[in-house]
């Protein structure tokens, strides 16, 4: 051997390469008017800026060898996936475990106002990295457990494939914290329309990218 080049990562044999796409920006919350609800969770549609982000995601990934697209029960993920699905000729599938964190009494838009007002329960949730500080919300452990189950199920169905999974900020944060063993909120705050990358082989998760936004307008 006359030379040895640096290693270039390739997914292990049998692994699934997941692109975790956060949905586009949604409609603003309006004081005194809840979002439409699905199973007790707010279900806002995309804001026009979010629609533009969805188009940008589709353009960014239209040439990628994606074999499947997954979404959640929330319309914002379906709307975000639509341009990419049209480019690729794929019909998105719904995974039952990847919906956004259940915010209990603060769902339907109230969470945004409580966060803006720095409500004590919001501050405790941030400090303790525990969603369960919010009244009647699911716990961080419950969120991480179902998100892990959903991602492992998708990976098992698509070995040696590239899959797009259009989800929510809380879900991306949970997935990457589980994958890396990081504090629960370490990856909280992925941008709308961003792309993160997670490679899964059986129970092993490898983080390969977080919050890619080069395809989005400033």
User: Chain-wide mean pLDDT for the chain?
Assistant: 97
pLDDT digits (tens, 9 = 90+) for 19-61: 999 999 999 999 999 999 999 999 999 999 999 999 999 999 9
Contact status, residue 149 vs residue 6, Cβ threshold 8 Å: no
- Tell me if 169 is assigned to some domain: yes
- Tell me if 130 is assigned to some domain: no
**Can you give the pTM of this predicted structure?**
0.96
Q: State how far the Cα of 195 lies from the Cα of 20, in Å rounded to an integer.
A: 6
pLDDT digits (tens, 9 = 90+) for 140-197: 999 999 999 999 999 999 999 999 999 999 999 999 999 999 999 999 999 999 999 9
Contact status, residue 199 vs residue 208, Cβ threshold 8 Å: yes
- Tell me if 81 is assigned to some domain: yes
- Tell me if 133 is assigned to some domain: no
Q: State how far the Cα of 145 lies from the Cα of 25, in Å rounded to an integer.
A: 26
CATH assignment at residue 160: 3.40.50.1240
Q: What is the span of the domain harbouring residue 83?
A: 16-103+139-212
- Tell me if 66 is assigned to some domain: yes
Tally of domains in the chain? 1
- Tell me if 113 is assigned to some domain: no
- Tell me if 80 is assigned to some domain: yes
Quote the longest CA-to-CA distance of the chain: 71
- Tell me if 188 is assigned to some domain: yes
């Amino acid at each position: 051997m006359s030379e040895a080049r640096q290693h270039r990562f390739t997914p292990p044999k049998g692994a699934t390469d997941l692109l975790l796409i956060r949905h586009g920006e949604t409609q603003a919350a309006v004081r005194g008017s809840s979002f439409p609800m699905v199973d007790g969770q707010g279900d806002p549609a995309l804001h026009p800026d979010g629609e533009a982000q969805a188009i940008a995601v589709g353009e960014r990934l239209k040439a990628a060898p994606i074999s499947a697209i997954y979404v959640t029960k929330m319309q914002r993920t379906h709307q975000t996936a639509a341009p990419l699905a049209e480019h690729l000729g794929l019909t998105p599938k719904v995974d039952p475990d990847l919906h956004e964190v259940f915010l209990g009494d603060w769902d339907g838009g109230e969470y945004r106002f409580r966060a803006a007002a720095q409500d004590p329960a919001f501050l405790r949730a941030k400090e303790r990295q525990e969603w369960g500080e919010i009244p009647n919300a699911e716990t961080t452990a419950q969120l991480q457990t179902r998100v892990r189950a959903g991602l492992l199920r998708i990976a098992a169905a698509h070995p040696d494939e590239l899959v797009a999974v259009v989800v929510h900020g809380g879900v991306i944060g949970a997935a990457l914290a589980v994958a890396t063993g990081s504090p629960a909120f370490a990856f909280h705050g992925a941008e709308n329309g961003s792309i993160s990358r997670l490679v899964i082989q059986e129970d092993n998760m490898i983080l390969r990218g977080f919050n890619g936004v080069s395809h989005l307008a400033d």
